[in-house]
């Protein structure tokens, strides 16, 4: 078997166009994501509204395009009214989802202010279909979106928000199949409630985009049957079915962990097949797309072994510190999402700050970038336009979970206005560099703008409070166009070497 990898790029063959909302994220009232994360009155960098401006700068740099809020498991017990109006009048509540005390000092208005200051991002609101239902969803919609002249719209105006929030994208609950979820339901029960809620919300605004809950993971015993039943009820009134997936290294099986995207791609293809099967049964020409609104590397096993919390405010919870290996897997998951951009048109990295997040903060102290920050920021900045079809010819390696897996995982995007191409690639080998040849058919590319790599001699290297820039991307020398590339004449091949255990971005003009 060849020790080299090869891909062919041709502008005539593409998967689809990237929806910018593929680079979304997630803010939940969980741990320190909100309090001492994005919101910390009294912090040296806090603005007049209590938002940390050091975090705002990093969120802008990250390139987040949509943010899901306020949960997550939190939303299934949440009363939205608790988070509006004068902050000093808001009630303190027990949050059953995370055994914490919620102060409600940060709510809907503060979240919308945060989005405005981030710039370039849009809201994705979840409604509580765990302990509440159709009426409460309609009331939240009216408060958030109706211009004026009704009790709830005037209440918003009285709270200081004259203009409506104009939320276009809504989640109909969260992980309602999960027995851990407050108000968990079976597929028929949830499907009927979601359909009723969707129809009612569309009576106010028929142009909303609505997301029905899919399975909490592919490993759920009701997976696929859940999606089929829920969509049987909701197919005509929703636009998306949700997907959630988290990956971790188990029992030292790093080879399988590095191949996590094999599972993610299988999961996506299985959900798409189920959606299309229901559409065929209903004789519908409509396509249901995917909102992959929770994904990340998450050391869930460690979290499950932790002692239960005792109703603290903003406890340190799920604060995974990510290694180079985690960042390479994370980048591979991003590649998987891009490779399915025809149907995955919304995705949310869970979460944004402190809680399994690319950005970390210290109360009263600094904010810094985790290793996973860099693949996301690079993909958001340069992974736009059309996703080209990429069939990988690569040496393989054995894994315990997924069998033989290619060492190379890759995708590429093209900007049709400028002709610029970006290749994103992961080398899964822990020990060997991987030579890569890219056949550039019909692409008028004359120079390599940059080859950036995230790797390290220590695969467990991390960025921490003490060493916030221990791991950063660096430039790779020697990546070049071959063939006839000279004096402005387009090249026909790209030749690169991908270091062991590495995330790579190669930009071509």
- CA nearest neighbour of 204 among 256, 263, 268, 137: 137
| CA separation for the pair 54, 226 (Å, rounded) | 42
Residue 327: half-sphere exposure toward Cβ, Cα within 13 Å:
33
* Strand-pair partners of 126: 171
Under 8 Å between Cβ of 145 and 191? no
Beta strands in 10-165 (DSSP E): 14-17, 24-26, 66-69, 93-95, 100-102, 122-127
240-269: b (≥16 Cβ within 10 Å) or e: bbbbbbbbbbeeeebbbbbbbbbbbbebbe
**CA distances in angstroms from 29 to 70, 354, 503, listed in the order given:** 6, 12, 31
3-class secondary structure, 399: strand
Under 8 Å between Cβ of 396 and 383? no
Dihedral angle at the C-alpha atoms of 61, 66, 293, 425, nearest 10 degrees?
Answer: -40
Q: Kindly give, in sequence order, each residue whose CB lies less than 8 Å from that of residue 82, ignoring residues fewer than 6 positions away.
A: 90, 91, 93, 102, 104, 107
| CA separation for the pair 160, 80 (Å, rounded) | 17
Active site (catalytic) residues: 175, 294
| CA separation for the pair 316, 322 (Å, rounded) | 16
Backbone torsions φ then ψ of 196, nearest 5 degrees: -65, -45
Radius of gyration of the chain from Cα atoms?
23
Angle (nearest 5°) at CA 361 between 355 and 364? 135
Q: Kindly give, in sequence order, each residue whose CB lies less than 8 Å from that of residue 440, ignoring residues fewer than 6 positions away.
A: 9, 421, 481, 483, 490, 491, 492, 493, 494, 508
| CA separation for the pair 408, 428 (Å, rounded) | 6
DSSP summary character for residue 255: H
| CA separation for the pair 271, 481 (Å, rounded) | 39
DSSP summary character for residue 389: P
3-class secondary structure, 123: strand
């Amino acid at each position: 078997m060849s020790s080299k990898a090869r891909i062919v790029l041709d502008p005539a063959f593409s998967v689809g166009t990237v929806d910018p909302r593929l680079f979304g994220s997630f803010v939940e009232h969980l741990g320190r994501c909100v309090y001492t994360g994005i919101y910390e009155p009294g912090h040296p960098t806090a603005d007049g509204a209590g938002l940390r401006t050091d975090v705002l700068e990093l969120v802008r740099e990250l390139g987040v395009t949509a943010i899901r809020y306020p949960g997550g498991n939190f939303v299934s017990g949440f009363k939205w009214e608790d988070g509006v109006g004068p902050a000093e009048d808001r009630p303190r509540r027990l949050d059953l989802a995370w055994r914490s005390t919620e102060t409600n000092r940060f709510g809907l208005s503060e979240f919308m202010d945060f989005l405005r200051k981030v710039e370039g991002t849009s809201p994705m609101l979840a409604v509580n279909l765990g302990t509440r239902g159709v009426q409460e969803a309609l009331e939240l919609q009216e408060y958030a979106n109706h211009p004026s002249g009704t009790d709830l719209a005037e209440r918003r105006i009285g709270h200081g928000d004259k203009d409506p929030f104009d939320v276009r994208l809504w989640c109909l609950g969260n992980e309602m199949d999960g027995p851990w979820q407050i108000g968990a339901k079976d597929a028929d029960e949830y499907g009927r409630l979601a359909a009723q809620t969707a129809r009612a919300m569309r009576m106010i605004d028929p142009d909303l985009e609505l997301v029905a809950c899919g399975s909490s993971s592919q490993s759920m015993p009701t997976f696929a049957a859940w999606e089929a039943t829920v969509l049987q009820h909701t197919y005509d009134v929703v636009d998306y079915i949700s997907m959630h997936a988290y990956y971790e290294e188990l029992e030292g099986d790093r080879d399988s962990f590095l191949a996590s995207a094999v599972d993610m791609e299988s999961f996506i293809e299985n959900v798409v097949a189920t959606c299309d099967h229901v559409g065929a049964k209903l004789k519908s020409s409509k396509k249901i797309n995917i909102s992959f609104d929770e994904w990340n590397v998450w050391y869930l096993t460690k979290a499950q072994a932790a002692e239960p919390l005792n109703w603290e405010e903003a406890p340190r919870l799920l604060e995974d510190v990510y290694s180079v290996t985690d960042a390479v897997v994370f980048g591979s998951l991003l590649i998987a999402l891009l490779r399915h951009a025809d149907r995955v048109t919304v995705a949310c990295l869970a979460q944004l700050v402190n809680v399994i997040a690319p950005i970390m903060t210290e109360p009263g102290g600094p904010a810094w970038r985790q290793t996973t920050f860099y693949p996301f920021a690079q993909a958001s900045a340069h992974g736009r336009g059309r996703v080209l079809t990429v069939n990988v010819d690569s040496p393989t390696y054995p894994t315990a979970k997924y069998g033989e897996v290619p060492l190379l995982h890759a995708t590429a995007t093209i900007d049709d206005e400028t002709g610029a191409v970006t290749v994103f690639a992961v080398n899964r080998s822990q020990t060997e560099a991987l030579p890569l040849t890219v056949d550039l058919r019909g692409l008028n590319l004359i120079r390599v703008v940059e080859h950036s790599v995230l790797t390290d001699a220590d695969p467990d290297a991390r960025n921490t409070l003490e060493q916030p820039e221990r791991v950063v991307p660096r430039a790779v020398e020697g990546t070049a166009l071959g063939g006839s590339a000279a004096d402005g004449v387009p090249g026909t091949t790209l030749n690169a070497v991908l270091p062991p255990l590495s995330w790579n971005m190669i930009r071509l003009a």
